[in-house]
Amino acid sequence: MTDVVPAEAGARDVPDDAVLIEAVRGGDVAAYGRLYDRHYVAARRVAAAIAADAAERDDLIAEGFTRVLRILRSGEGPNEDFRPYLLTTIRNTMITWRRHDASVSVVAEVPDVLPSAGSDEQVGSRLHATVAAAAFAGLPERWRIVLWRTEIEGESPARIARDLGMSPNSVAALAYRAREGLRQAYLDQHVPASQRRNCRDVGGQLGRWVRDGIGHHKASRIRTHLDGCADCQELVASLRRLNEELPAAVAHVAA
């Protein structure tokens, strides 16, 4: 007699989400680990589509799974549709972060002044708040936290270090990198999307290059590109002028 039970038994050995969710509510941490493994790829795909960079993507994934675990343990949340709930949580987390970032006034005061007539220097006037906010929002999560708490809330590295599980010296070093990252990100906001596409080898690196934040090998490639690209030469000239000015509004956060 042919035995076809093992295949069916094997299918039954794999618990569905509803079973694992119930186990999590009962305190089974291993069950949540199985949910994590099962839905991580989908979570990563969604997070990668909305995050500014790999660091923020990883933060989103971790925060999404953590929030859902907390909700399940409280007896709330989904009973069986774990993945849709998780992905919605990840998206809502990003919305919350962006709203939080938007509340950061990195520009103390922006006068309503237009560039002088006939001027080709769109970056020559005062920093517009939306540009600074976009630059800030694009920073890695830890950089934003440290900038917010040191520059806006005026907290000491020692206080922040306790919350982040770091040494005060490490927090100070992180704050330094975050300030430099904000400067570079602000310059990067002025690189047109069309130039990023047409000069994709260097388009996204010109802000860092102007700030001397590029390694020797990449810097050499950028110089070679600039020798033959008049559009990038013109853009670099504008970025250098902007870098020299770096409005006081940015200096308040990035100095």
The amino acid at residue 25 is R
Residues 150 and 93 in one domain: no
Residues 171 and 90 in one domain: no
Residues 224 and 141 in one domain: yes
Q: 13-42: per-residue pLDDT in tens?
A: 678 999 999 999 988 888 898 999 999 999
Residues 78 and 144 in one domain: no
Contact 53, 35 (CB under 8 A): no
Residue 106 confidence (pLDDT) above 80 = no
pLDDT of amino acid 130: 61
The answer to whether residue 47 sits within a structural domain is yes
Q: Which domain holds residue 82?
A: 14-102
Residues 137 and 238 in one domain: yes
Q: 189-202: per-residue pLDDT in tens?
A: 888 777 777 787 78
The answer to whether residue 160 sits within a structural domain is yes
Q: 42-95: per-residue pLDDT in tens?
A: 999 988 888 877 887 888 888 888 889 989 988 899 998 899 999 989 988 888
Q: Record the pTM.
A: 0.47
Residues 242 and 159 in one domain: yes
The answer to whether residue 249 sits within a structural domain is yes
pLDDT of amino acid 187: 85
Of residues 129 and 31, the one with the higher pLDDT is: 31
- Helical H runs in 74-213? 82-102, 129-137, 141-147, 157-164, 168-188, 193-198, 206-210
